[in-house]
Structure 1
Amino acid sequence: MDDALLAAYQATDYRVRLARGGYAAIRIGQALSPPLRTLAGDHAWGFITAWNPRSEPTPRPQNRGAQRALLAVLRAFPQTLLIRPGRGVSRDGRWIEPSLWVVGPDTAPLDALALRFGQFGYVHGRGATPAQLRLPPGA
């Protein structure tokens, strides 16, 4: 991953839609906000997308199909406790990627999904620990 792409990951708000409206943002290096901490408890969590594999702009219908496939796989994981829709939003507002925040799966299954869907990285954590950028081996 080049420095520009790494900087883009770092300068992104990872927004999770809340059940009663609005969203809570995840930022790399910061702990989860109280609403997300309550939902995650002490479990592993990840913020992942299937949009724009290999960071290449991809047609919307293809992105939507990939995102539906990602959602189906996450729903089938026995360790999945919760899935919430989200969006990765650049802080300058120049791009938005629909994403999913999932509570339960740890890094091994999320690494496999990131590789399967052509993602260089995703954001993860456990409970209230600070969010980290995860670069799956082989990405």
Structure 2
Amino acid sequence: MDERLLAAYLATDYRVRLTGGGWASIRIGHPLPPALRLLVGSQFWSVITAWNPRSQHQPRRDNRRAQQALLTNLRALADVQAIRGAAGVGQDGQWREPSLFLLGPKQEALDRLAQRFGQHAYVHGRGDGVARLRLLPPH
């Protein structure tokens, strides 16, 4: 992954839809905001998408199909405890990518799904730890 793309991932605002409305923002290298910490407790969590595989813009129709397939795969995992809507929003606000916030699945399962859907990385953490960017080997 080139430096420019890595910088974009690190600067992205990963927004999670809250039950009562609004969003909570996750930033790489920072703890979860209080609203999400209450939800997560000590569990594993992640933010993942199937949009724009290999960071290449795809037609909306193809992205929606891929995201639906990812959601179907996630629902089949035994350790997924919750799925919420999320979005990655670029630093300049011009770029937005629908995503999913998950509770429960561990890194191994997410690595497989992210690679299957052509993703370079996803965001993850545990409980009150900091958000981390999980870079995957090139595919």
Deviations 1:5-55 (A, max 9, x none): 000001100000001100000000000011111111111111000000000
Superposition pairs of residues 55-94 of structure 1, within 5 angstroms: 55-94=55-94
Q: Does the alignment pair 1:106 with 2:102?
A: no
Contact residue 120 and residue 137 of structure 2 kept, 8 A: no
- Aligned-residue sequence identity (percent) comes to 58
Query: 1 CA distance for matches of 2:128 and 2:82?
Result: 16
Q: Secondary structure at the match of 1:124?
A: strand
Partner of 1:34: 34
2:13 aligned partner: 13
Matching residue's letter, 2:76: A
| Equivalent residue, structure 1, for 2:130 | 130
Q: TM-score, normalised by structure 2?
A: 0.97
Determine helix, strand or coil for the equivalent of 1:114.
helix
| 1:22 is the counterpart of 2:46 | no
Aligned length, in residue pairs: 139
The alignment's TM-score, normalised by the length of structure 1, stands at 0.97
Structure 1 gap ranges (5+): none
Q: Where does structure 1 differ by over 4 angstroms across 4 or more consecutive aligned residues?
A: none
Amino acid of the structure 2 residue aligned with 1:9? Y
Query: Secondary structure of 2:118's match?
Result: coil
What SS does the aligned partner of 1:77 have? Answer: coil
* Aligned-residue CA RMSD (Å): 0.8
